[in-house]
A and B are shown apart, each in its own frame.
Chain A
Amino acid sequence: MSTFSIYSLAAILLVGLGVYGLFTRQHLLRKVMALNVIAGGIFLLLISTAYRNQDLFPDPVPQAMVLTGIVVAISATGFALALVRSIHRRMAESETDPSQDSWDQP
């Protein structure tokens, strides 16, 4: 078992866990976490790929890809969490105030 293969297998298992969590968990926070676990798995796969060859330095291209990916992932996560919070607040409001049925279009 080379380092590459154990880490890449671990990466795949992380992806699998994340996808399973995404499909089965209902809570929105959990779904966002699951997506982040998937992302972590993919990044791990990329970095273990980069690690395969150590002649000069680890392949910098996957590393750059992961850095870009991390920023993209955190942007989307932040956005999603802001949405979750807003939706939660609106729904709580509409529960206490039945006249304001905000599920309908304005």
Chain B
Amino acid sequence: MNLILLFDVFLIAALLLVSWRLLGASDLFQATVLFISFGLFLSLAWIRLGAPDIALAEAAVGAGLAGVLLFGTFKGLEPGADRENDSFTSEPCRLDPISPCPGKIHLLLAFTCVGSLTTLLVLAVLDLPATGDGLTPMVSQFLERSGVEHPVTAVLLNFRFYDTWLELGVLVAAVLGILCVRNRFDLRELKVLQAPDVMLRRLVMGLAPTMALVVVYLLWLGDHAPGGAFQAGVVLAAMLVLLWFSGHASITGLSRMLWLFCLIAGFAVMLLVAVVSALWPEMRPLEFPEEWSAMIILGVEVVATLSIGVALSSLAILSLGAVDDPGGS
């Protein structure tokens, strides 16, 4: 028991320390590295708290993808900045280049506000009931009728199907937004900043089939154990980004239509389910017959995996790709 407590304290201290440093460190490169470790510590916390689903997603997204994005953006901002350059303060990147740096009053004000907010939150958290079932009993009661055995998957793809569908919409919206930023209509011929070296190419080539297997495995796992469309999609995204990064064929090779189809397939299939169920006379919107629900959920998961993978990798590739924009055509 004490050992676990020790672990908890260590983990929390690490989390707080890392987040403090990543926000406070003067070196932006260091902060980026710390951000990745922040994600890893968070996934440890998820495992500790019995949420392996999230640990998987966090490790891949929070640490992996977000880290890659931050790192890539950092490289894009400061191509010359490297490990040796300790003082990345020469030219801060701000929204408003005219406004002065925050003065003492600003800092004090922010500290007071945040301090009172945190105090209030601490009081609120201490006030929370120490036990509480939430919706666990409901979920376990209806789990059998959901078509899957793993409760998290049941919640995501059946009980709160609507949320999951909309969340795929959020992904689509983000990708469309980035397309506007980059003034592009697709990913064709988007180049990596630096030419990949040969070792990496070989390594990724060897890794890719394994990752593809992991994707399928995670997808299959989601039915009865931690895993599912999200985790599989995230691994798929990582694979696609790595392939692109190492100069292999990836989604940048897809034609515009094909890429768009892959991007939107998850959202569109769930939309299709919604439309069909709304047209079906005896059915509530987004309801599916119990005997088919396993099938439908599996189908949706497969397509959603593809879409999540393509969307997340598009996010990364669009953010990291070389800057020579072709202009709208």
Contact = CB atoms under 8 A, between A and B. Distances in A.
Interface stretch (B163-171, B194-202, B246-254, B279-287): B163-171
Interface string B147-189: 0000110111000100110010011011101100110000000
Contacts of A40: 19, 38-39, 42, 62
Given A52-B132, A74-B65, A16 B121 contact: yes
A23 to B, nearest CB: 4
A43 B51 CA distance: 11
Interface residues of B, number: 95
Interface string A12-36: 1111111111011111111011101
Contacts, number: 261
A14 B315 contact: no
Q: Taking chain B's interface residues, is the majority helix, strand, or loop, or is none over half, making it mixed?
A: helix
A99 interface: no
Interface residues of A, number: 79
A67 B156 contact: yes
Interface stretch (B66-74, B204-212, B270-278, B292-300): B66-74
Interface in A33-64: 33-34, 36-37, 40, 43-45, 47-64
Contact of B125 (A12, A24, A32, A72): A12
B77 interface: yes
B308 interface: yes
A89 B324 CA distance: 11
A24 B102 contact: yes
Contact of B54 (A5, A66, A89): A66
Interface of B: 4-5, 8-9, 12, 15-16, 19-20, 22-24, 28, 31-32, 35, 38-39, 42, 45-46, 49-51, 53-54, 57-58, 61-62, 65-66, 69-70, 72-74, 76-77, 92-95, 97, 101-102, 106-107, 110-111, 113-115, 117-118, 121-122, 125-126, 128, 130-136, 139-140, 151-152, 154-156, 160, 163-164, 167, 170-171, 173-175, 177-178, 181-182, 230, 308, 312, 315-316, 318-319, 323
